[in-house]
Amino acid sequence: MSVDITGAEILFRLPLGIVITETQVNMWIVMLVIAMLCKYLTSNLKIKPEGKRQVIAEYIVNLANKFIKDNMGPGFKNFPPFIAALFSISLFSSLLGLLGMYPPTADLNTTLGWAVVVFILILYYKFKTNGFGGYFKGLMEPLPILAPFNLIGEFSTPISMAIRLFGNISTGVVISALVYAALAWLSGVVFQWLPGTLANIPYLQLGLPAILSLYFDIFSSVLQSFVFCMLTILYISQASTKE
Amino acid sequence: MPETLEFLSINFWQTLMAIGNLLILFMILKKFLFKPVNDILEKRAMEVDTIYSDAESLRSKAEIDKETYENKLRHVKSETDLMIKSATERAENRKEEIINEANKEAENRKKKAESDIILAKKKAVDEMKDDIVEMVIDLATQVVEKEINTKIHETIIDGAIEKLGESV
């Protein structure tokens, strides 16, 4: 018995070393679903809401607006859609595991890309608040000799965010794969006395993986998406307050 | 076995695509969800504002109307008071007039009655006088027939009648 733990499947290769993998395709699917959902929810907006759709759309928008206002204060006009995009793409990507598809968040490249965006935003707000000089001066504190450590601290933020999300989701993928393989083997051992092909059915795979999936695919997906967004909000609002 | 990436691998293009995808989704959400919903929320807030201000102006108008009507009512009340007063006055005058007329009428009737009475009295006296004259004449005739000389007595009686006539 062998279990292969691999990354995303490469679907085709383009020049310049660009590869299109399951990660990309699945993410496009997720984006398409979210875009269609948006179109569907906002298709018939009225000043007096008439359907459930509008109520849901307003609920989501109000929730995002309020969440950003409560946690970051006023003046972050673009952040509700940005955080909503981050949360929805992360959540839907992770939830793809439920459908047996490869979750794009189980690919470090994906989470790293998002973390880089967050890092750039953090730097932007730090520069904006303290100015270039102020930012580099801040790195020298409390002692200039600690500057390298502060610099490491700066870069560890996106890396830790990327690896946290990647780790949590990919762990789910890995553990699911291991459990499935183990249960298939155990089934083979326990039910080998059954005649013919009946012995090859992995009966034990029924049940336990569902419970694991409940944790890894649903709970962990929601929680890690929320954590990723919450950290983004906290880091950026911290970056935009004067030191 | 399909070709795959390593489980833990970093690929520049893949990372870049993840960034691009995130930004594209940001645009999508902004354009297709947040902008329309925020617009509609803003419109609703504006509409609510207008409804409130409309209600406020209506309320103040109602207040003014109420004031006006109250004034009018007060005016009407004083007017009716005046009307009642004048009507009462007129009625009083009329009453006075009627009573006066009645008094006059009564007075007249009383006077007329009194004069009637006097006239009747006079008439009665005249009748009585005539009766007496007749009676006397009758008496005298009887006396004359039975007794003496008609001629002498005639003159006496004439004299007596004459006297009677003067005294009545």
pLDDT tens figures, B69-117: 999 999 999 999 999 999 999 999 999 999 999 999 999 999 999 999 9
Q: Which one is predicted more confidently, B158 or B117?
A: B117
In A117-136, the residues whose Cβ lies within 8 Å of chain B are 117
Q: What does the mean pLDDT of chain A come to?
A: 86
Task: Please say whether the dihedral angle defined by the alpha carbons of residues A138, A141, A144 and A147, taken in this order, is positive or negative.
Answer: negative
Q: What is the pLDDT of residue B1?
A: 62
B30: which chain A residues are within 8 Å (Cβ-Cβ)?
78, 81
* pLDDT greater than 90 at residue B3: no
Comparing CB atoms, the residue among B4, B15, B29 nearest residue A112 is B15
User: Between these two residues, B88 and B10, which has the higher pLDDT value?
Assistant: B88
- Predicted local distance difference test score (pLDDT) of residue A36: 93
Dihedral, CA of residue A58, residue A51, residue A39 and residue A82, to nearest 10: 10
Tell me the pLDDT tens digit for each residue of B46-61.
999 999 999 999 999 9
> Does B5 touch chain A if contact means CB atoms closer than 8 Å?
yes
Helices (H), A73-146: 79-95, 108-139
pLDDT of A1: 55
DSSP assigned state of A20: E
Asked if A58 and B37 touch (Cβ cutoff 8 Å), the reply is: yes
Residue B10: inside a domain = no
Angle at the Cα of A181 (from A177 to A182), degrees rounded to 5? 115
What's A7's DSSP letter?
-
Q: Which residues pair with A10 in a beta bridge?
A: A21
A95 CB within 8 Å of a chain B CB: no
pLDDT at B47: 92
Instruction: Look at phi and psi of residue B3 and say left if phi exceeds 0, alpha if psi is from -120 to 50, else beta.
Output: beta
Task: ipTM value, please give it.
Answer: 0.86
Domain boundaries, chain A: 10-239
Average pLDDT over residues B24-50: 91
Residue type for position B9: S
- Reply yes or no on whether the pLDDT at B168 is more than 70: no
Give residue B149's pLDDT.
Answer: 65
What is chain A's length? 243
Percentage, residues of chain A above pLDDT 90: 35
What's chain B look like in SS3? CCCECCCCCCCHHHHHHHHHHHHHHHHHHHHHHHHHHHHHHHHHHHHHHHHHHHHHHHHHHHHHHHHHHHHHHHHHHHHHHHHHHHHHHHHHHHHHHHHHHHHHHHHHHHHHHHHHHHHHHHHHHHHHHHHHHHHHHHHHHHHHHHCCCHHHHHHHHHHHHHHHHHHC
* Cα A132 → chain centroid: 31
B-contacting residues in A 162-221 (Cβ below 8 Å): 170
Report the length, in residues, of chain B. Answer: 168
Q: How far is CA A4 from CA A1, A7, B1, B6, B44, in A?
A: 10, 10, 10, 11, 56
Bridge partners (DSSP) of residue B148 are: none
The parts of chain A modelled with pLDDT lower than 50 are none
User: Do residues A150 and A194 lie in contact, with contact meaning Cβ atoms separated by under 8 Å?
Assistant: no
- Give pLDDT, residue A172: 86
Domain count, chain B: 1
pLDDT at B102: 94
Confirm whether B34 is domain-assigned. yes
pLDDT at A100: 79
Mutate to test the interface with B, among A109, A110, A232 (most CBs of B within 10 A): A109
Distance from C-alpha of A30 to C-alpha of A212, rounded to nearest angstrom: 23
Q: Which residues of B touch A121 (CB under 8 A)?
A: none
pTM for the whole thing? 0.71
Determine the distance in angstroms separating the CA of B33 from the nearest CA of chain A, rounded to an integer.
5
Residue A47, Cβ neighbours under 10 Å: how many?
A: 13
Q: Amino acid identity of B136?
A: V
Whether the CB-CB separation of A105 and A94 falls below 8 Å is answered with yes
